[in-house]
Chains A and B, each alone.
Chain A
Amino acid sequence: MGSLNYIQGETGTQVKDVFISPDAPHTLLLDKHADYIAAYGSKKDDYEYTLSEYLRMSGIYWGLTVMDLMSQLPRMNRQEIVDFITACQHECGGVGASIGHDPHLLYTLSAVQILCLYDSVDALDVDKIVEYVKGLQQADGSFAGDKWGEIDTRFSFCAVATLSLLGKMDAIDVDKAVEFVLSCMNFDGGFGCRPGSESHAGQIYCCTGFLSLTGQLHQLNADLLGWWLCERQLPSGGLNGRPEKLPDVCYSWWVLASLRIIGKIHWIDKDKLRSFILACQDEETGGFADRPGDMVDPFHTLFGIAGLSLLGDEKIKAVNPVLCMPEDVLQKLGLKPELLS
């Protein structure tokens, strides 16, 4: 890993972090990012693109959301995308990642998010989606990702995020769902995949987002969790997802959004994080990578831009920290997820 570097800590202990070269980008290259995303979907017979077919629906959500945040959504082919989504819904109501792929909560949420951006939720059979989500709730309140039974707090988030975008939260047993998520809370105030699983920034984002959407943020220990989250910031300014891991643009988003949800975003050094995110841009191709000097992708491009939005960049639309969608889209839907102050 070329960018990996070991920075000597105060007393000689090695801190895992990256080194940011002084000639790394330090201004926001919005036009290049928009060009990068616009071109991404056009190389459909590319090997790498084909390999990522199993998550296509999320890929489209990443690309469209980042375009919308940059006010460039009209550059994307709306009709083609809406038709594609309609074709991905199954008889059971769930949506697959792509045509021929099985339905799953992950892609059902992505599909609903995309259609909210386009204000065309009717392109899917909404009643059937609600039935699908409802059918995946287990007796203990948890959610399986699909009929094959994998349980994860990510899927609890997908379920309530999908239903709140559709205004159908009352279809599920919310109290039980909350009880399950709370049973995944750990000694450090964070959350893992299942009861007993180690805390992880991605999972914490899902669980704080879940508690926000269900109006239960008071159940968190915000001081303790906020401390763990702000300790994710490394000397480079980037944030990692767990102790002793490398910083990453996507974890920067998950940690930052969680901090915003629990009202502690001021506990990290915003200027340093901004510099780290900007350094992950690729000046030639556009787009953001996980770390400076790595290959860019739409996933990190969205979370780079969304992170900068939460940090207050005025060239980007305001992003909602819970649903990772533009605030103006949620306003139109009348959705205002709870945030701690």
Chain B
Amino acid sequence: MHGRVKVKSTAQQEEEKRKEREKKLKIYTAARDACFSKRKDGVCDEEALHLTQQLLSSNPDFATLWNYRREILMHQETVKDESEVQKMYQNELSFLESCLKVNPKSYGSWHHRSWVSERAPQMDWARELSLCDRCLSLDDRNFHCWDYRRIVVKKSAVPVGKELEFTDRLIGSNFSNYSSWHYRSTLLPLLHPQSPESAPPSGSSPPSPQTHSHRVCEEQLLKEYELVQNAFFTDPNDQSAWFYYRWLLGRAEREEMISCVFISRDEERVAVAFSRPVQAQSGGLLLVLDGQPLQVDWRSIHPRFKHSPVWICDLPPGSINNIANEHNLTVHWPEKHTRRDCALYTGRNESWCRDSATDQELFRSELSVEKSSVLQSELQSCNQLLELEPLNKWCLLTIILLMRALDPLGYEKETLAHFQTLKEVDSMRSAYYSDLCSKFMIENTILKMEYAEVRVFSVSNKNLTTLCHLDQLLLITHINLSSNQLRHISFHFSMLQCLKVLEAENNCIENLEGVYCLPKLEEVLLKNNNIATLAALRPLATCPKLRLLDLRGNPVTQSADAESHLAELLPSVACLLL
């Protein structure tokens, strides 16, 4: 079905082809029917082996015939002595080799080979490995062969270091080899694991290069930087090395922990933020108030989320409402052996306890400070490359990532300029760059806000196309998103549990799904957006304290009875600007 070019032919050629196909069809169906009828009769003889061989060598995707063949081989095992069985499986391997020569990408042939390798009395694994070498030298991207190689390596206990050398060789002869870079990403963490003291404790998640991305020791990481740099200086447009480099620059996933506990007297409510989306409903969280375990119902911030980074519960009425009382709250997460305490002092209406993004260096490199000088020189090299290739998108993006790993705020201006160039030289992906740039601007704003120790988050006029990291904004009371290019306030926005004022003028917002059950929200300023229907405003009805709503310059205000409908929908709103 793939790569068959359509060729024009004359009527006479067509007729000849038709006759030829008819002949082939007869031979094929005769052989197939003979196989099927033999199998039906339970015949497992040499002739059946011969018949299936004939069909499979030209049609290796005919899975049922491989199955029949396996039945025959298993039967023959019971009637032959060991040396004959060994001989039989050796023949099978030779037959498979010829199949793979003709069709190196057949699932059926490769699976049968690994099946045979399990059944044969003796396997010459060195031979299998050299078969893989040969096959990969013909096509170094054949993923069937790579997968079979991994089976062989495992079966014959080839040392990981040997396989890493193999990728050294392949990459050395051709940098543009995504499969080899991929293989490296799986081998390195095995060979050079991160030292145990700097590694986060292993959680319940299964190991994979993604979750364990930086379980590679720092020293090896620096060597890899050099290798990749060689690759992209040799061919700056080869994406393989750049993808690999981005992985090296990335961070391991944060361990699962409670990052913030917030308690409010007014709402008699507790909100808990986690480092990753979790499912807290199934009895996983324990809440202890003043030494007494409390039975509470945890709910995610929006019914849409079964897994959420923020969970809320209401405390029993009257348990904390007297402002003269001090309370001590602990949230336990037994499954992860972690907890967080939070004290609510006399005279205070709310309290929290949290990890800041700044303290955790959430948005920076994971390298130790002294090794960061290496990143600095990496950045210099990339800047040199950019001078030679000013429009190279891979180089531009990598420079942005290096700058962020080093000093996100210090490089903000240069980062923005590079994003601008990226959107021009790679316009097909401009929406991706816009979203990524938005993410970085939000991260920078979080850092600035934390330095200033305020609960006001202001990102106006930054060309934002998307919102993210909202779990970091659990405590903010004011958000200013004005003059951006936002089209939605997504479900995640309901994490802003302390929000009083939402300013989002001059965007192109069409829906407000995430302005949902925000208990403190009082003002929503949406002047000059794209809100066209009353339905789009419905989520606001779940915010009990909303009293000011500015909808001037939205299509919804055009309808004659908008005002009366809105008054009905949002009875708490005293000041409605249309």
**A residues lining the B interface (CB < 8 Å):** 1-3, 9-11, 13, 15, 45-48, 50-51, 54-55, 96-97, 100-102, 104, 146, 148-150, 179-180, 182-189, 192-200, 215-216, 218, 221, 223-224, 226-228, 230-231, 233, 235, 242-245, 248, 264, 266-269, 272, 282, 289-291, 293-295, 297, 299-300, 341
- CB-CB under 8 A from A231, the residues of chain B are 239, 429
Count of CB-CB pairs between chains A and B under 8 Å: 181
Chain A residue with the shortest CB-CB distance to B513:
A341
Does A11 lie within 8 Å of B429, measured CB to CB?
A: no
Interface footprint category on B: 35 or more
Does A185 lie within 8 Å of B178, measured CB to CB?
A: no
Alpha-carbon distance between A238 and B247 when the two chains are bound, in angstroms:
26
Query: Provided the pairs A50-B28, A183-B206 are in contact, do residues A295 and B5 lie with their beta carbons within 8 angstroms?
Result: yes
Shortest Cβ distance from residue A301 to the other chain B in the assembled complex, whole angstroms:
11
Shortest Cβ distance from residue A212 to the other chain B in the assembled complex, whole angstroms:
12
Does A300 lie within 8 Å of B147, measured CB to CB?
A: no
Does B211 lie within 8 Å of A294, measured CB to CB?
A: no
Alpha-carbon distance between A230 and B432 when the two chains are bound, in angstroms:
8
Write the B54-69 contact mask toward A (1 if CB under 8 angstroms, else 0): 0000010111101100
Alpha-carbon distance between A89 and B391 when the two chains are bound, in angstroms:
58
Does A272 lie within 8 Å of B1, measured CB to CB?
A: no
Shortest Cβ distance from residue B119 to the other chain A in the assembled complex, whole angstroms:
12
Alpha-carbon distance between A183 and B185 when the two chains are bound, in angstroms:
14
Shortest Cβ distance from residue B271 to the other chain A in the assembled complex, whole angstroms:
19
Shortest Cβ distance from residue B350 to the other chain A in the assembled complex, whole angstroms:
28
Does B213 lie within 8 Å of A187, measured CB to CB?
A: yes
Alpha-carbon distance between A55 and B244 when the two chains are bound, in angstroms:
37
Write the B198-235 contact mask toward A (1 if CB under 8 angstroms, else 0): 00000001111111010000000000000000000001
Selected from B176, B389, B429, the residue in CB contact (under 8 A) with A233 is: B429
Does B5 lie within 8 Å of A293, measured CB to CB?
A: yes
- CB-CB under 8 A from B208, the residues of chain A are 182-186, 195
Chain A residue with the shortest CB-CB distance to B17:
A47
Shortest Cβ distance from residue B436 to the other chain A in the assembled complex, whole angstroms:
8
Does A11 lie within 8 Å of B185, measured CB to CB?
A: no
Does A47 lie within 8 Å of B22, measured CB to CB?
A: yes
Selected from B2, B146, B150, B435, the residue in CB contact (under 8 A) with A267 is: B435
Shortest Cβ distance from residue B486 to the other chain A in the assembled complex, whole angstroms:
13
Q: List 5 A-B contacts (CB under 8 A).
A: A13-B237, A148-B115, A185-B210, A186-B185, A193-B147
Chain A residue with the shortest CB-CB distance to B397:
A227
Does A101 lie within 8 Å of B64, measured CB to CB?
A: yes
Selected from B5, B61, B244, B250, the residue in CB contact (under 8 A) with A2 is: B5
Q: Does B240 contact A (CB under 8 A)?
A: yes
Alpha-carbon distance between A184 and B243 when the two chains are bound, in angstroms:
18
Closest 7 CB pairs of A and B: A187-B185, A13-B237, A47-B21, A183-B206, A218-B277, A269-B428, A185-B210
Query: Provided the pairs A187-B209, A228-B243, A230-B432 are in contact, do residues A197 and B143 lie with their beta carbons within 8 angstroms?
Result: yes
Selected from A15, A197, A267, A299, the residue in CB contact (under 8 A) with B147 is: A197
Alpha-carbon distance between A295 and B205 when the two chains are bound, in angstroms:
45
Does B178 lie within 8 Å of A243, measured CB to CB?
A: yes
Does B240 lie within 8 Å of A189, measured CB to CB?
A: no
Does B143 lie within 8 Å of A47, measured CB to CB?
A: no
Shortest Cβ distance from residue A251 to the other chain B in the assembled complex, whole angstroms:
10
- CB-CB under 8 A from A10, the residues of chain B are 237, 391-392, 425
Q: Give 7 A-B pairs besides A231-B239, A290-B1 with Cβ atoms closer than 8 angstroms.
A: A1-B5, A183-B207, A198-B143, A200-B143, A230-B432, A243-B239, A244-B176
Does B179 lie within 8 Å of A198, measured CB to CB?
A: yes
Q: Does B431 contact A (CB under 8 A)?
A: yes
Does B206 lie within 8 Å of A199, measured CB to CB?
A: no
Q: Does B25 contact A (CB under 8 A)?
A: yes
- CB-CB under 8 A from A148, the residues of chain B are 66-67, 70, 111, 115
Q: Does B236 contact A (CB under 8 A)?
A: yes
Write the B238-264 contact mask toward A (1 if CB under 8 angstroms, else 0): 111001100100100000000000000
Write the B510-535 contact mask toward A (1 if CB under 8 angstroms, else 0): 00010000000000000000000000
Shortest Cβ distance from residue B532 to the other chain A in the assembled complex, whole angstroms:
18
Q: Does B182 contact A (CB under 8 A)?
A: yes
Query: Provided the pairs A187-B209, A293-B5 are in contact, do residues A230 and B429 lie with their beta carbons within 8 angstroms?
Result: yes
Q: Does B337 contact A (CB under 8 A)?
A: no
